[in-house]
């Protein structure tokens, strides 16, 4: 067991390693080996301490508190059932048959509640063995009948899961594979629903719901997506007994519904719904930070910059913020860059180095290409507003270079259209009237294309349509000022 109190008198190397990781004193093998053993990561003593710590951490999984807030009732039942099954097997191996029988009967009662059919089948198989050895024929026959039913149920679940996962792998494989899958998804949903009705199974029914959610998302049918989320809420979350007896997370459903409002551009409704569901997100958890991001983006898109500032402060001042993955923290920094532009409040600006944000070298992986576009787009706004022509041209060159080498026009269409709009500005010598006349076609393309569903990788912090509106406002705001700025630039 890990000693989480860690008294000073204890000098266990694996405990030292644990506490150093917990306190963020070390982040790499090199740092850990040097601090604890004054050596390199290949040292045998370091590898032994690391291996011992891993085993202790794995052992601690048996002592997770599934009663604490954040776990669903399904997760609690599943953990309890697996724990009982484990105990029963140990008791059987130790010859404590009577106690094992009681545990297996307890397992069947708990596992049936959430249709944990695999565990029910295993429990029945072991009970069948016990009753056979004891010569209890009537109990043996009862178990045999139940086992036949649950094996059929198990086959139905397996068939439904195969249908679901066969579609899911295509959806996640590639854009072209996703398109191929679309034609067969409705028939898979129908078949899964038939199996659900046959066994009156909420577990199988949920697979149909999940596949429908994916289908409506891919086909951009966000109204049906909202209706389906509402149906899930009413069917599973608002039960009279208060139980969630399937592997369904409230948080996932709520986040999906918020995304649907987002894509329908019903930002006010999205904000209202998110505010009504905030109690279900445990403060400081990964899902809470995701939820906060969505609320921030809804506030930005609604131009409620004071509300967006509140979400920024709530995220960045939370003690768990430092534990977020690096790309999470990067996103919040980019969010601040946009927010400071529209709301240069002292509290928002505090601790934020705008000059660094406008000048640091962008080095995101290709999978986070949206981050690069977001940073460059925000810089473009800043430089245009300040009349920094040289920096503006450098930024546009970077955007164009990035566009040609990184963006797939099929999956990043909005980015490509937006970049073409930005190029209209220097091409037309910053002339507001000329630019306004030539931008309508591109704006129509933006309006007819959905905002990317994965806001976190595409990262359209502020909709391109509104950014363009802001750029036109700058160009038209004070013609004498703009003319002076752009035609009397002092080159560095």
User: pTM, whole model, 2 decimals?
Assistant: 0.79
The answer to whether residues 365 and 472 belong to one domain is yes
Whether 393 and 426 have beta carbons less than 8 Å apart is answered as yes
Residue 362: predicted pLDDT: 81
- Say yes or no: 367 and 471 in one domain: yes
**Do 48 and 99 belong together in one domain?**
no
pLDDT of residue 176: 84
pLDDT higher than threshold 60 for residue 489: no
Instruction: State whether 255 and 374 are in the same domain.
Output: no
Residue ending a domain, among 135, 150, 166, is 135
DSSP class per residue in 415-431: HHHHHHHHHHHHHTTT-
User: What 3-state class would DSSP assign to 411?
Assistant: coil
Say whether pLDDT at 74 is over 70. yes
Whether the predicted pLDDT of 159 surpasses 90: yes
Are residues 130 and 49 located together in one domain of the fold?
no
- How many folded domains does the chain comprise? 4
pLDDT attached to residue 16: 85
Of the residues 350, 382, 417, the one at which a domain ends? 350
| Per-residue confidence band for 1, with pLDDT thresholds at 50, 70 and 90 | low
Q: What percent of the chain has pLDDT over 70?
A: 88
pLDDT at position 490: 46
Task: Judge if 57 and 130 occupy the same domain.
Answer: no
Q: What is the pLDDT of residue 20?
A: 86
Q: Which domain holds residue 95?
A: 73-135
Distance CA 476, CA 467 (A): 14
pLDDT at 181 over 50: yes
CATH code of the domain in which 87 resides:
1.25.40
Q: How confident is the model at residue 242 (pLDDT cuts 50, 70, 90)?
A: low
User: What average pLDDT is seen over the chain?
Assistant: 87
Q: Are residues 384 and 475 in the same domain?
A: yes
Structure-token match 């854009």, residue found: 175
Residue 433 placed within a domain = yes
CB atoms within 10 A of CB 23: 8
- Residue-wise pLDDT for 325-334, tens only, equals 877 888 888 9
How far CA 230 is from CA of 251, 271, 273, in Å, comes to 13, 16, 11
Report how far residue 171's alpha carbon sits from residue 321's, in angstroms, rounded to the nearest whole number: 32
User: Is 214 part of a structural domain of the chain?
Assistant: no
Same domain, 471 and 387: yes
Q: What is the largest CA-CA distance in the chain?
A: 101
| Phi then psi dihedrals of residue 343, to 5 deg | -145, 80
Place of tokens 């904000």: 271
Give the Cα separation of 392 and 374 in Å (integer).
Answer: 15
In a domain, 238, yes or no: no
Nearest Cα neighbor of 388 from 435, 419, 333, 430 is 430
Average pLDDT over residues 404-433: 78
Domain match, 331 and 432 both: no
Is residue 364 domain-shared with residue 482, that is, in the same domain? Answer: yes
Range with the poorest average pLDDT among 174-183, 366-375, 418-427, 483-492? 483-492
389 and 462 in a common domain = yes
Residue at 213 is within a domain: no
User: pLDDT for 461-483, tens place per residue?
Assistant: 888 999 999 999 998 876 544 55
- Residue ranges of alpha helices (H) inside 233-368 are 250-263, 267-276, 286-301, 305-316, 326-342, 346-349, 354-357
What is each CA distance from 130 to 81, 94, 399, 451, in whole angstroms?
A: 19, 13, 71, 60
- The single-letter DSSP state of residue 361 is P
- SS3 state of residue 293: helix
Q: Is residue 240 part of a domain?
A: no
Contact (CB, 8 A) for 251 and 70? no
Are residues 371 and 482 both part of a single domain? yes
Digit-coded pLDDT (tens) for 371-409: 888 899 999 999 999 888 889 999 999 888 876 554 444
The pLDDT > 90 percentage for the chain reads 51
The whole-angstrom distance between residue 471's C-alpha and the CA centroid of its chain comes to: 32
147 located within any domain: no
Matching residue, tokens 């016990």: 130
Length of the chain (residues):
492
Residue 174: per-residue pLDDT: 83
- Whether 123 and 111 have beta carbons less than 8 Å apart is answered as yes
pLDDT at 301: 93
Q: How far is CA 294 from CA 71, 217, 263, 371, 473, in A?
A: 22, 17, 12, 16, 27
d(CA 226, CA 2): 45
Q: What pLDDT does 70 receive? A: 65
| 131 domain residue, yes or no | yes
Summarize pLDDT for 301-336 with one digit per residue, the tens: 999 999 999 999 999 889 888 888 877 888 888 999
- Residues 115-126 have a mean pLDDT of 96
pLDDT of residue 492: 40
pLDDT at residue 491 is higher than 50: no
Given a contact cutoff of 8 angstroms between Cβ atoms, the answer to whether 263 and 450 are in contact is yes
Please name which of 465, 469, 459, 452 lies closest in space to residue 262, comparing C-alpha atoms.
452
CA nearest to 154, candidates 197, 204, 188: 204
Last residue of a domain, one of 89, 110, 135: 135
HSE (side-chain half, CA atoms, 13 Å) at 238:
7
Establish if 86 belongs to a structural domain.
yes
HSE at residue 262, side-chain half, CA atoms within 13 A, is 27
Eight-state DSSP code of residue 284: T
């Amino acid at each position: 067991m890990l000693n989480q109190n860690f008294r000073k008198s204890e000098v266990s190397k694996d405990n030292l390693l644990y506490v150093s990781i917990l306190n963020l004193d070390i982040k790499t093998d090199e740092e850990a080996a040097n601090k604890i053993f004054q050596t390199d990561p290949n040292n045998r003593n370091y590898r032994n301490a690391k291996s011992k710590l891993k085993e202790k951490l794995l052992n601690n999984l048996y002592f997770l508190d599934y009663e604490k807030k954040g776990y669903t009732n399904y997760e609690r039942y599943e953990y309890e059932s697996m724990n009982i099954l484990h105990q029963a097997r140990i008791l059987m191996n130790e010859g404590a048959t009577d106690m094992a029988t009681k545990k297996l009967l307890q397992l069947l009662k708990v596992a049936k509640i959430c249709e944990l059919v695999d565990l029910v089948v295993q429990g029945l198989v072991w009970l069948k063995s016990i009753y056979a050895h004891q010569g209890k024929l009537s109990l043996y026959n009862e178990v045999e009948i139940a086992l036949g039913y649950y094996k059929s149920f198990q086959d139905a679940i397996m068939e439904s899961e195969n249908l679901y996962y066969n579609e899911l792998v295509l959806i996640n494989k590639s854009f072209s594979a996703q398109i191929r899958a679309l034609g067969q998804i409705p028939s898979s949903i129908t078949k899964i629903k038939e199996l659900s009705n046959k066994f009156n199974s909420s577990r199988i029914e949920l697979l149909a719901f999940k596949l429908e959610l994916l289908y409506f998302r891919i086909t951009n049918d966000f109204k049906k997506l909202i209706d389906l989320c509402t149906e899930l809420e009413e069917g599973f979350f608002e039960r009279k007994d208060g139980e969630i007896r399937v592997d369904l997370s409230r948080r996932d459903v709520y986040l999906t519904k918020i995304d649907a409002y987002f894509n329908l551009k019903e930002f006010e409704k999205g904000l209202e719904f998110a505010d009504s569901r905030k109690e279900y997100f445990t403060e400081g958890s990964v899902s809470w930070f995701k939820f906060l991001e969505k609320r921030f983006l809804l506030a930005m898109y609604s131009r409620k910059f004071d509300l967006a500032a509140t979400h920024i402060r709530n995220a960045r001042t939370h003690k768990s913020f430092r534990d977020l993955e690096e790309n999470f923290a990067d996103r919040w920094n980019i969010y601040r860059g946009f927010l400071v532009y529209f709301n240069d409040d002292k509290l928002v600006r505090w601790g934020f180095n705008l000059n660094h944000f406008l000048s640091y070298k962008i080095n995101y992986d290709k999978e986070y290409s949206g981050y690069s576009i977001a940073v460059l787009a925000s810089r473009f706004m800043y430089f245009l507003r300040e009349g920094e022509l040289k920096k503006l041209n450098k930024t546009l060159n970077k955007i164009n270079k990035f566009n040609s080498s990184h963006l797939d026009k099929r999956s990043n269409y909005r980015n490509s259209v937006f970049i073409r709009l930005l190029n209209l500005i220097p091409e037309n010598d910053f002339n507001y009237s000329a630019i306004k006349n030539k931008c309508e076609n591109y704006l129509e393309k933006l309006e007819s294309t959905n905002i990317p569903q994965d806001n976190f990788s595409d990262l359209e912090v502020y909709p391109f349509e509104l950014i363009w509106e802001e750029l036109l406002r700058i160009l038209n705001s004070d013609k004498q000022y703009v003319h002076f700025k752009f035609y009397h630039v002092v080159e560095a």
